[in-house]
Amino acid sequence: MSKIDNSNSNKKNLWQVRLAFLLIIIFFVLSLILTMLAKHSQAQKLALSANMLAKVYVQTITADASSGIQTLALPGTLKGYIESPIYARTNGYVLHWYKDIGSHVKKGELLASIDTPEVDQSLALAIATLNQKKSAFNLAESSFNRWQKMRERDVVSQQELDERKSLLMQAEAELKGAEADVTRLTYLSNFKKVTAPFSGIITQRNIDVGDLISTSDAQSQKLMFMLSQSNPLRLYVDIPQAYADHIHINQSVTATLKEMPTQVFPAKIVHTAGAIDPVTRTLHTEILIKNDHNQLLPGSLVKVSIPIESKDVLKVPLNAMLFRAQGATIATVTKNCKVKIKPVSIGQDFGNRLEIIKGLDSSDQIILNPPDSIEDGDIVEVTH
């Protein structure tokens, strides 16, 4: 009986050990399952949080569309209708100057006088040489006439008459050379009086009494005066290529000065280059402004307003622009909330808004304040 009891007891203990081991395995398996479920739940929460943080929220607008007469405003610098630097044409010293900067002068009015002792002495010598050549010519002429009469009576040979004729022709040539020399020096002597070539205003005076005046070479020449015709005035502006088709000869425009904001000066387009500059992509245009009361000063900076008839002009705020290596772009949002980057061409600058002449539709949803990192295909959330 004892053996049977021991056997039963051993079986019971073995079964208890197996049960305990099975419970331990079940515990570890359950612990592993619970740990994996917790990590999976945490990963889902982390992914959801990352997606929430990664989502870009944007505000969108549409471009302002307008049509009709637009005003193209461009800066420009006034210039005299004629601007001429005045140099001396003879050598000497400044004897006196008569007009200073700001002086209104008329054509032919005396501006300065130059003392030219070398030219005066050269002229006196040339006149004396001329008188000498005249005497030699008269003698050669009378001698030829006498020898011609003697040849008619066959007193002298034809060879001797030809020699006298050659002497006469030589004397005549020397006389003409002396006359030309006197004429040249007379012109140089007349240049000692510097006069105004046209009516205008003296804008520069770069000489004083006693200054040396030399015309030997271009580097040593001294600018004496700068003369500018102030009525009318010229104004040059560069019209962007997008507006070149709207510019016409005799088209009326207006000009204003910052110093006189309430006064408008009428002007007129008189010339255009007739071609687009391949470097600046602009049309060089000349504008003429009347200045009857001398209110406008040459060299002044003015703003020119040119009326432009345009259709469906789109304007966007500055904070909608993206400037990248490829140029000006605008970020838009498609119907499926994806970003579409559009390259655009900018027209006129209105200060806080820019005119878009190409690359944008009036129905496009434009992103305001787009981040620099935004790219094509990004998913965004539109907020209102």
d(CA 369, CA 353): 14
Q: Which of 80-94, 118-132, 157-171 has the weakest average pLDDT?
A: 157-171
Closest CA to 311 of 255, 241, 242: 242
d(CA 321, CA 173): 81
Instruction: Name the range with the highest mean pLDDT among 12-16, 87-91, 154-158.
Output: 87-91
More confident position, 174 or 65: 174
**Mean pLDDT, to the nearest integer, of 258-275?**
87
Structure confidence by residue, pLDDT tens digits, 237-246 = 988 887 888 8
pLDDT at 311: 60
Structure confidence by residue, pLDDT tens digits, 113-160 = 888 888 888 888 888 888 888 888 888 888 888 877 787 777 777 887
pLDDT band at 344 (very low <50, low <70, confident <90, very high): confident
pLDDT over threshold 80, residue 179? yes
The answer to whether the CB of 114 falls within 8 A of the CB of 194 is: yes
**Omega within 30 of 0 (cis) for the link into 232:** yes
**Mean pLDDT, to the nearest integer, of 349-374?**
79
pLDDT over threshold 60, residue 81? yes
The answer to whether the CB of 58 falls within 8 A of the CB of 381 is: yes
Phi and psi angles of residue 178, each rounded to the nearest 5 degrees, phi first: -65, -40
CA distances from 166 to 157, 284, 301 (A): 15, 63, 70
Using alpha carbons only, give the angle 150, 152, 158 rounded to the nearest 5 degrees: 80
Instruction: Classify domain 117-190 by CATH number.
Output: 1.10.287
- Name the fold adopted by 73-80+230-310: Elongation Factor Tu (Ef-tu); domain 3 (2.40.30)
Q: Which of 20-29, 99-108, 251-260, 271-280 has the weakest average pLDDT?
A: 20-29
> What is the widest separation between alpha-carbon atoms in the chain?
201
The answer to whether the CB of 248 falls within 8 A of the CB of 272 is: no
pLDDT band at 11 (very low <50, low <70, confident <90, very high): low
Q: Write out the H or E segment, with its range, that includes residue 105.
A: strand 104-105
Residue-averaged pLDDT of the chain: 81
pLDDT over threshold 80, residue 217? no
Radius of gyration of the chain (CA): 49
**Domain spans of the chain, in order of start:** 57-68+313-382, 73-80+230-310, 82-115+192-229, 117-190
Written as six digits, the tokens of 140 are: 């050669």
pLDDT at 320: 81
Structure confidence by residue, pLDDT tens digits, 315-332 = 888 888 888 887 888 888
Helices and strands in the chain, H and E counts: 3, 23
pLDDT band at 32 (very low <50, low <70, confident <90, very high): confident
Range 82-115+192-229 classified under CATH 2.40.50.100: yes
Any idea what DSSP says for residue 55?
Answer: P
**Mean pLDDT, to the nearest integer, of 300-306?**
88
Written as six digits, the tokens of 87 are: 């140099």
More confident position, 200 or 384: 200
Instruction: Classify domain 57-68+313-382 by CATH number.
Output: 2.40.420.20
Phi and psi angles of residue 307, each rounded to the nearest 5 degrees, phi first: -70, 130
212 by Cβ neighbours in 10 Å (0-12 / 13-18 / 19+) ranks as: exposed
**Mean pLDDT, to the nearest integer, of 163-184?**
86
More confident position, 200 or 43: 200
pLDDT over threshold 80, residue 257? yes
d(CA 57, CA 73): 37
Residue type, 70: Q
pLDDT at 288: 92
More confident position, 351 or 229: 229
Residue type, 24: I
